[in-house]
């Protein structure tokens, strides 16, 4: 069993109660909890805190999101928290030793349950582990002494730019033969200097007479503090978050920053707003969190923008039936299965490709007629027979080095909902299901199969939302 461990304390000096201070509309710790809960390799997410205020705020925030995610009026799957000390077995906090040591269970993607935060448990921690002088290892070892698991990923709440994709990469590296632990890093291309015993400065990573160009300089790796992965066995043996053969997993440049000082807050919140694609006035998360908008979006019959600030688009993906077609099923007199596509959609996809955008279809169907359409349009990506669209799109992003926030996805029904919630520019057609309209940032004027995809592409092109092909 793989667990995430997120230690947060209430005694922060530089920024009081910073772990629950709102950033982009949510408490700081919410963002790393969300990333951990969305990671398919993680079975359980533990937040350990000494603060009743942190417990209360996080519980309320996650319960609200879980109700919306479950769409059933209750907090289905949400475990809750323990009001007792670390390791106690009250209020649903499990300390049963139901899994063996070792690394053998790291590889399996867990089955996703209902509710975004169904994996979460908020537990207590001792006062001794929450002092200014206590090490993070102290809290890790305290947790490991009373909980059974195979592998742990330590996640620091001060890294809100962490994503589930980053954690996926971490566990995939951890699964490699011979790897004992993993840490997250960022590559920096700076020229470093030191001061010698004689008081004079000297370069430590380049030759001043052979100054390399940035594109020719490998740079160096910096620990960004976002996450660390190790086995329970190695943690208890080494008493350290890292040991043995260590693998480094690179994260995007902007994750170099951690929140330690008030100035860090401003920098990271600005980066988050850019990545999430919204301004101060309104966020796409508010659309997801507000069920009343389902009713508003269900009645939409013309082009609507549910969010004014849209991220740059590097990948454009769409479902097939109901988006590129009218979802109808047609048969020839001979009984052959037919579909009706719209040539305007095809031209729009061609224009995107000419602008350097990766274009493709992700569909649950696996029929030859779709394949022929993909070949005719010369699309970059075709994923037929897809049962888990979110996992497929995340894998595509990893393969092409693209952030999920730079993806546009067009869906029309509930099986597209999860992927639409996780991309930067979710779109739907005029006759899309009310649930997808509720999360869409753009609703086309036309129904599926009648130029709806072209309408969405036109909006992207007209508003200069493309990342240049040279980037």
pLDDT digits (tens, 9 = 90+) for 61-95: 877 665 443 333 333 344 454 444 444 333 333 33
Q: Averaging pLDDT over each range in 11-15, 25-29, 240-244, 262-266, which range is the top one?
A: 240-244
Average pLDDT on 126-142 reads 92
SS3 439: helix
- pLDDT of res. 290: 46
- pLDDT of res. 326: 86
Distance CA 298, CA 295 (A): 5
- pLDDT of res. 367: 84
Distance CA 358, CA 148 (A): 44
pLDDT at 281 over 50: no
User: What is the DSSP annotation of 231-294?
Assistant: EHHHHHHH-SS--SSEEEEE--GGGG---SSHHHHHHHHHHHHHHHT--SS--HHHHHH-THHH
pLDDT at 56 over 80: yes
- pLDDT of res. 5: 98
pLDDT at 320 over 50: yes
Average pLDDT on 417-440 reads 92
What b-and-e string marks burial along 424-442, b requiring 16 or more CB atoms within 10 Å of the CB?
bbbbbbbbbbebbbbbbbb
Distance CA 244, CA 103 (A): 13
- pLDDT of res. 222: 94
Which position has the higher pLDDT, 11 or 292?
A: 11
Minimal CA–CA distance to 251: which of 312, 310, 188? 188
Percentage of the chain exceeding pLDDT 70: 78
Least confident of 80-89, 146-155, 224-233, 433-442: 80-89
- pLDDT of res. 336: 63
Residue with tokens 């393969």: 399
Residues near 296 by beta carbon (within 8 Å), at least 6 away in sequence: none
Task: Give the chain's mean pLDDT.
Answer: 81
- pLDDT of res. 360: 95
What b-and-e string marks burial along 248-265, b requiring 16 or more CB atoms within 10 Å of the CB?
ebebbebbbbbbeeeebb
- pLDDT of res. 277: 54
- pLDDT of res. 332: 63
- pLDDT of res. 307: 43
- pLDDT of res. 200: 96
CB-CB neighbours of 172 under 10 Å = 16
The long-range contacts involving 235-240, CB below 8 angstroms and separated by at least 24 positions, are 235/140, 235/141, 235/144, 235/152, 236/141, 236/144, 236/145, 239/137, 239/141, 240/137
Average pLDDT on 46-51 reads 93
pLDDT at 7 over 80: yes
Tokens coding 398: 């990893």
| pLDDT band for position 116 (cuts 50, 70, 90) | confident
Distance CA 312, CA 404 (A): 11
Distance CA 147, CA 132 (A): 24
CB-CB neighbours of 209 under 10 Å = 5
Which position has the higher pLDDT, 119 or 290?
A: 119
Q: Are 174 and 25 in contact (CB under 8 A)?
A: no
Average pLDDT on 165-192 reads 94
pLDDT tens readout for residues 345-375? 999 999 999 999 999 999 988 888 888 889 9
Q: Are 19 and 32 in contact (CB under 8 A)?
A: no
- pLDDT of res. 202: 95
- pLDDT of res. 387: 86
Q: Are 419 and 390 in contact (CB under 8 A)?
A: yes
pLDDT at 294 over 60: no
């Amino acid at each position: 069993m793989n667990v995430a461990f997120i230690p947060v304390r209430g005694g922060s000096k530089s920024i009081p109660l910073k772990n629950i201070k709102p950033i982009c509309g949510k408490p700081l710790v919410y963002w790393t909890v969300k990333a951990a809960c969305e990671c398919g390799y993680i079975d359980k997410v533990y937040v350990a805190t000494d603060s009743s205020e942190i417990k209360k705020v996080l519980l309320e925030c996650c319960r609200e999101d879980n109700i919306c995610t479950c769409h059933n009026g209750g907090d289905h799957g949400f475990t809750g928290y323990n009001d007792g000390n670390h390791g106690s077995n009250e209020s649903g906090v499990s300390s049963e030793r139901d899994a063996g040591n070792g690394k053998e269970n790291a590889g399996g993607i867990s089955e996703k349950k209902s509710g975004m935060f169904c994996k979460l448990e908020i537990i207590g921690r001792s006062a001794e582990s929450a002092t200014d002088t206590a090490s993070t290892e102290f809290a890790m070892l305290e947790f490991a002494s009373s909980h059974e698991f195979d592998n742990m990923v330590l996640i620091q709440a001060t890294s809100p730019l962490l994503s589930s994709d980053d954690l996926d990469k971490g566990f995939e590296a951890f699964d490699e033969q011979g790897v004992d632990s993993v840490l997250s890093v960022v590559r920096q291309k700076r020229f470093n200097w030191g001061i010698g015993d004689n008081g004079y400065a000297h370069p430590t990573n380049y030759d001043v007479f052979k100054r390399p160009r940035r594109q020719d300089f490998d740079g160096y790796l910096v620990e960004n503090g976002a996450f660390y992965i190790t086995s329970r066995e190695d943690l208890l043996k080494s008493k350290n978050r890292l040991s043995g053969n260590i693998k480094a997993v690179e994260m995007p440049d902007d994750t170099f920053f951690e929140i330690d000082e008030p100035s860090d807050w401003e920098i990271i919140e600005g980066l988050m707003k850019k990545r999430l694609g919204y301004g101060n006035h309104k966020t796409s998360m508010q659309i997801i969190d507000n069920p009343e908008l389902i009713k508003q979006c269900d009645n939409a019959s013309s082009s609507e923008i549910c969010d004014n600030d849209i991220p740059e688009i590097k990948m454009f993906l769409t479902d097939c039936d109901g988006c590129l077609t009218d979802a109808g099923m047609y048969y020839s007199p001979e009984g052959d299965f037919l579909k009706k596509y719209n040539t305007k959609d095809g031209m729009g996809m061609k224009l995107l490709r000419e602008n350097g955008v990766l274009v493709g279809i992700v569909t649950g169907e696996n029929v030859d007629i779709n394949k022929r359409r993909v070949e005719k349009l010369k699309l970059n990506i075709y994923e037929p027979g897809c049962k888990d669209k979110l996992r497929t799109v995340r894998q595509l992003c990893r393969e092409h080095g693209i952030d999920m926030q730079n993806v546009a996805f067009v869906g029309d029904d509930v099986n597209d909902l999860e992927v639409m919630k996780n991309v930067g520019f979710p779109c739907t057609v005029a006759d899309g299901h009310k649930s997808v309209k509720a999360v869409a940032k753009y609703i086309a004027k036309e129904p599926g199969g009648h130029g709806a995809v072209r309408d969405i592409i036109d909006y992207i092109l007209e508003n200069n939302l493309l990342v240049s092909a040279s980037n």
